Amino acid sequence: MKVVALAGGTGAAKLVRGLRGLDAGLHLTVIVNTGDDAEIWGLHVSPDLDTIAYALAGALDETRGWGLPDESFRVLDAMARFGEPTWFNLGDRDLATHLHRSRLLRRGHTLSEATRSIARALGVAEVVLPMSDQPVRTRLRTADGWLDFQEYFVREKAQVAVAAVEYVGAAEAAPAPGVLTAIGEADVVLICPSNPVTSIGPILAVPGVVDGLARCAAPVVAVSPIVGDDAVSGPAGRLMAARGVPVSSTGVARMYAGWLDALVFEASDGNLAPAIQAAGVRPVPAATMMRSREDERALARRALEAAR
């Protein structure tokens, strides 16, 4: 079975890890958000790509949900001596990934090629694709002006009010090689429980992706990142509210309506089923909190069952 997943970072990492733990006959391709990418100390950092690759390699720091375990931060401490910004925590071993990626990009390789090199070195058998080889950057407008995503999320800890979100460069970008082919040839397309505005939104903003989802013969199933009236983690709820979208699984269904077939949502929010159905999306209640490996596999299994 060919499964294609559209993914952001933390929540997506758990679901794709759950998929990886299922039937060995499952062939997984993960299309990853790069709107979060940033230049830190002159290095090209791709947080979501790395989180997915580390998760599939069994190398993700599960306590933090990003980076590598047993990490040290001596370089970070040393950079502070030179007055360099240190609000973005780059671990010493994690730096090797960014150094390797940046070197390949400077040599003229594409982000897809750099991602493939990193995944291969980590022993990842699954296909990991950036959404585009061209730069697309998520920016958020606050009372003090525009912030890049990492400035908003890490430096400001997502505590500033957001009036607007834009995906700079998306209109001029193209899907990375293999993205549309993977969607078109998939048996199932899964939208991971990632932030609909700043994780899945940038992927959908790349021309051709939404059309590809609407045209594909495979069922498209999303897993809601919202439980009750807030996100499981991160600022998804606040950003949905800023866009005037209900902060609920109903809101997620409305954001994806038009090409989404089914939405897996928290069973305790079962009263939302009629509203999700009214949005033109089939509601599928499930236990969506992934607190253990078994939870991850169970949710992945439920999402595939929803597709059938």
pLDDT in tens, 124-159: 999 999 999 999 999 999 999 999 999 999 999 999
Give the pLDDT confidence of 250-308 residue by residue, as tens digits.
999 999 999 999 999 999 999 999 999 999 999 999 999 999 999 999 999 999 999 98
pLDDT at 161 over 90: yes
Q: For 165, how many CA atoms within 13 A lie in the half-sphere containing its CB?
A: 28
pTM: 0.96
CA 61 to CA 68: how far, in whole Å?
5
Which residues share a beta bridge with 145?
142
Asked if residue 265 lies in contact with residue 285, where contact means CB atoms within 8 angstroms, the answer is yes
State the pLDDT at residue 23: 76
State the pLDDT at residue 44: 98
CA 127 to CA 110: how far, in whole Å?
16
Question: What backbone torsions phi and psi does residue 116 show, to the nearest 5 degrees?
Answer: -65, -40
